[in-house]
Amino acid sequence: MHVAYGLRLDREEAPGQAKHHGRTLCRRTVLSKFRIQPHGRLQEWVAEEKGYFKDAGLDYEFVHGRLLGPRSAASEQSGSEGGGPADIRSGAFETMEEGRACEISSACHWAVNMAAHGEHGRMWGHAYSVTPAGLWVAPESEIKKPEDLAGIEVAVGYHSGSHFSALQGMEQFLPKDQIKLQFVGGPGDRCQLALDRRVQVANVFGTLSYVLEQQGFRKIVDTSFMIGFLINGEATDEQLWAYFNALQRAQREIDVAKELYQHYLYDQLADKYHDLYNPKASGIGERLVFEPYTQETYERTHRWMVEWGIFPDDQVGHASYDDAVAV
């Protein structure tokens, strides 16, 4: 038996047909090397350092991702009007539409939800994470409270966590017609644009939000949000449970002794931010939660995105929870 978060995977089922409560999760029968790519968080690094992936019997490849910083020339380009940042209309959802390079990848739960609805992969239904995030303004900004954001463009990433969380955060304070967004690229781009005073407000999450905070930026609205997992490769059930068992052990270790591992947040930052960030003065960033991503959450989230008209009709999927979520 393989135990994960109180759920059991029966290895005596036919190969590739492992089930939970009588339901098949994944159908692949041939084990191959499982690719792991950290998501700018601590858990994968801790599991690698402590040997938790090996303890779980996972045959894997640990792939170092890009450093957290400006993703491209987006933060240096100017749009066609007024010299502002270029408009970037591609984000987390589009990368999942195209297919990502590892067996299970992470993105905001809205994008993963819509990708699963559109059958671009299956959503892992036994865990999610929560990342700190906020709408940040410079210390000298005249924006003091959420209502001051009326009509002000907020820098976000298209079809990514900052896009959805900005809408969800601001709709509590402002009517829809007073909520304005500008799509400027990834979190590193938004952080850099904020530091350079080229945007008035930026929605930034994770370690880069700590950079802004430590540079005196003020959070006007908290936009902390859920991150989901998309099974977009050819992983077996056995590999997936092994991976998440290791991450659960890593989360416990972080909870007990975070000080031993916060250097990984610093290490994952682009060099240009090292003088701007002290990991010992920040939180732990993303925290994994080993609870179900329920059918109610799956359907409620989809309805909200459709009501906002965030996706064009040709990107809106309609797969059922049973078909789209591995539970």
Predicted confidence band at 141 (pLDDT cuts at 50, 70, 90)? very high
Structure-block tokens of residue 174: 């402002």
- Choose the weakest-confidence range: 100-104, 240-244, 246-250: 100-104
Q: Which amino acid is at 16?
A: G
Q: What is the pTM of this model?
A: 0.86
Query: How far apart, in whole angstroms, are the C-alpha atoms of residue 209 and residue 187?
Result: 9
Q: Where are the beta strands (DSSP E) in 22-152?
A: 23-24, 34-36, 60-62, 104-108, 122-124, 128-131, 133-137
Estimate the crossing angle of helix 295-308 against helix 109-117, to 10 degrees. 90
2-311: CATH topology: D-Maltodextrin-Binding Protein; domain 2 (3.40.190)
Domains in the chain: boundaries: 2-311
- H helix and E strand count, the chain: 11, 17
313, pLDDT greater than 50: yes
Average pLDDT along the chain? 86
Give 33's DSSP letter: P
21, pLDDT greater than 50: no
Predicted confidence band at 123 (pLDDT cuts at 50, 70, 90)? very high
pLDDT at 5: 28
Q: Between β-strands 218-222 and 287-289, what pairing exists: parallel, antiparallel or unpaired? A: unpaired
Helix (H) or strand (E) holding 228: strand 225-231
Query: How far apart, in whole angstroms, are the C-alpha atoms of residue 313 and residue 326?
Result: 25
| Residues 71, 196, 223, 305, CA torsion sign | negative
Residue 243: CA count within 13 A, CB half-sphere: 26
Estimate the crossing angle of helix 109-117 against helix 161-170, to 10 degrees. 110
Mean pLDDT value of segment 237-264: 97
pLDDT at 37: 87
287 contacts: CB under 8 Å, gap ≥ 6: 129, 130, 131, 251
325 contacts: CB under 8 Å, gap ≥ 6: 116, 122, 123, 124, 125, 293, 295, 298
Asked if 154 and 180 touch (Cβ cutoff 8 Å), the reply is yes
pLDDT at 247: 98
Query: How far apart, in whole angstroms, are the C-alpha atoms of residue 126 and residue 52?
Result: 19
138 contacts: CB under 8 Å, gap ≥ 6: 194, 197, 200, 216, 217, 218
267 contacts: CB under 8 Å, gap ≥ 6: none
Q: Which of 18-27, 29-38, 43-52, 84-93 has the highest mean pLDDT?
A: 43-52
Q: What is the pLDDT of residues 38-92, one digit of tens each?
A: 888 999 999 999 999 999 999 999 988 667 777 654 455 544 444 567 777 755 7
Structure-block tokens of residue 179: 């909520």
276, pLDDT greater than 50: yes
Predicted confidence band at 32 (pLDDT cuts at 50, 70, 90)? confident
137 vs 88, higher pLDDT: 137
Q: Between β-strands 23-24 and 19-20, what pairing exists: parallel, antiparallel or unpaired? A: antiparallel
Residue with tokens 């304070």: 173
Longest dimension (CA), the chain: 65
pLDDT at 91: 59
Residue with tokens 């959070």: 219
114, pLDDT greater than 90: yes
Q: What are phi and psi of 33, to 5 degrees?
A: -65, 130
Q: What is the pLDDT of residues 148-158, one digit of tens each?
A: 999 999 999 99
Burial of residue 32 (number of CB atoms within 10 Å: 0-12, 13-18, 19+) = middle
Of 266, 253, 105, 94, the closest CA to residue 183 belongs to: 94
